[in-house]
């Protein structure tokens, strides 16, 4: 069993990446492998709504060079997907927004390749806007027909600079709850 984490932060060593390292440990303790895809490793072009994905109908974007199709193929092969993003101007960072827009159109007009996968999301903020980012990520998963896990408390972490996230006891409790709920759902859907 495998989970793919999508890190929407433009910082290679920030809160999201450090929290995802802890999340990987949590999954691995439960026997589930986790791989992280960092959106900052790609130079994704903006969607121009050419609708080639609808014409093709194969779940692929016409732009074969920027890595989006590779990311989508890796997500399709996973049992679970966890998405993480920091708050930039009360929304996802622009690079994550570009990913969400392009991926949504390709998946919606193509193969709905994430339908039925277990999903989860968390957001990190210094002050406010985390609910908006969390909702952007969850809305993407719901529109793709994924089985989205919640948590109690919410998986929203307050931290301006890493490793301040360790001080947000409730936020990290929400992250642990989210991972546990995802593990239970993945195991139920993949009995061995």
User: Which tokens belong to 103?
Assistant: 């991926």
> What is the predicted pLDDT for the residue at 192?
74
CB count, 10 Å around CB of 63?
18
- Structural domain of 122: 2-189
Taking Cα atoms as reference points, which of 36, 44, 175 lies closest to residue 97? 44
Question: Are the C-beta atoms of residues 172 and 157 closer than 8 Å to each other?
Answer: yes
Residue 121 has pLDDT above 90, yes or no: yes
Enter the DSSP assignment of 36: E
CATH number of the domain bearing residue 147: 3.40.50.360
Nearest CA to 43 out of 104, 94, 107 is that of 94
User: Which pTM value belongs to this model?
Assistant: 0.96
Q: How many domains does the chain have?
A: 1
Report whether 106 contacts 71 (CB < 8 A): no
Q: For the segment 131-149, what is each residue's pLDDT rounded down to a tens digit?
A: 999 999 999 999 999 999 9
């Amino acid at each position: 069993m495998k989970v793919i984490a999508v890190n929407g932060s433009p910082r290679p060593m920030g809160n999201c990446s450090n929290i995802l390292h802890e999340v990987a440990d949590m999954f691995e303790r439960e026997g589930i492998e986790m791989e992280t895809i960092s959106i900052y490793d790609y130079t994704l072009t903006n969607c121009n709504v050419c609708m080639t994905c609808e014409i093709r109908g194969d779940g692929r974007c016409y732009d074969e060079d920027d890595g989006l199709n590779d990311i989508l193929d890796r997500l399709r092969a996973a049992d679970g997907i966890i998405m993480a993003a920091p708050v930039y101007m009360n929304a996802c960072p622009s690079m994550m927004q570009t990913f969400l827009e392009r991926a949504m159109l390709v998946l919606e007009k193509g193969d709905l390749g994430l339908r039925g996968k277990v999903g989860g999301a968390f957001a990190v903020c210094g002050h406010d806007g985390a609910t908006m980012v969390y909702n952007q990520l969850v809305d993407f998963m719901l529109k793709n027909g994924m089985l989205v896990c919640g948590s109690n408390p919410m998986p929203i972490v307050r931290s301006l600079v890493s490793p301040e996230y360790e001080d947000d006891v409730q936020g990290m409790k929400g992250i642990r709850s989210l991972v546990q709920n995802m593990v239970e759902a993945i195991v139920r859907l993949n009995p061995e």
